[in-house]
Structure 1
Amino acid sequence: GFDYDLVIIGAGVGGHGAALHAVEEGLKTAIIEGDVVGGTCVNRGCVPSKALLAVSGRMRELHDEHHMKSLGLQVSSTGYDRQAVADHANNLASKIRSNLTNSMKAMGVDILTGFGKIVGKQKVRYGKVGFPEKEITAKNIIIATGSVPFVPKGIEIDG
């Protein structure tokens, strides 16, 4: 037999969704994550950027004197704390990351830490640098690792 019915490499939004669906279908499921649960969207993309956009939207509203007066509000001054705004975005990402992890644990998904690689038919090896690797078997494997942009030689990324 196999260790798992399904092993998913990558615990971003796609891997998380696949894991929950698999468990609902009765499959013994493991997910392997080499960095942090949630992937780019939760940790560096969608969630933090939307949190920052929400803050900037609130500031824009507060600076719209005509709109504030129409609501019966008088705002004398507004300001922001750059670090507190960044902390808000990071805390939101952390909370969502925790919710994703807890939802998988509650459904019985085994969360395995390390970088996964397929090493044979229905075999996956995973581990962290400097630690012994472990090998597991699965009837099915999903690769949900997301992507990293390729930057050709001679092109510099600004920012």
Structure 2
Amino acid sequence: MLDAIQQFFNRTLAPQDDAQRVLTLELATAALLCEVVRADYQTGASEIDALRNMLQTRFALDRAAVDELMDLAAEEAEQAVDHFQFVRLVNEHYDYADKVELVELMWRLAYADDALDALEEHRIRKLADLLFVRHSDFIRTKLRVQEGRDGAGV
């Protein structure tokens, strides 16, 4: 037991190189996106596929790596008491434009099943606030996603 605790602190407190930091940011980003997928308590295949495609595109990972990342992120999101650990990491390492892009990805996930649930919108609003995304950008990203869907004939 003491060895396990010591290993945890060595991993947690040890300085991280860039490769480890990127993986941690990937996991934090994926966990926040998983929070949107889980918000309405109904996870459909269209949402899972959209999440998979987003992660593959955003992080240039192959399908196996994305599946592993999604599993880890879902597990982290399920076990997390709150969003602070994920939001803190994103706030420390993402610039404002990256945070706005992340909020837009959240909207895309919320609309992936062709229906925006009030719980999904609430979750995105809460996460956008925690990411210090201005309300005007929160609304702008929502409208951009809606317009993209309308233009696609959805």
- The answer to which structure has the higher helix fraction is 2
Bigger Rg, structure 1 or 2: 1
Highest RCO, 1 vs 2 (Cα 8 Å, sep ≥ 6):
1
TM over 0.5: no
| TM-score interval, smaller chain | under 0.3
TM-score normalised by the chain length of structure 2:
0.28
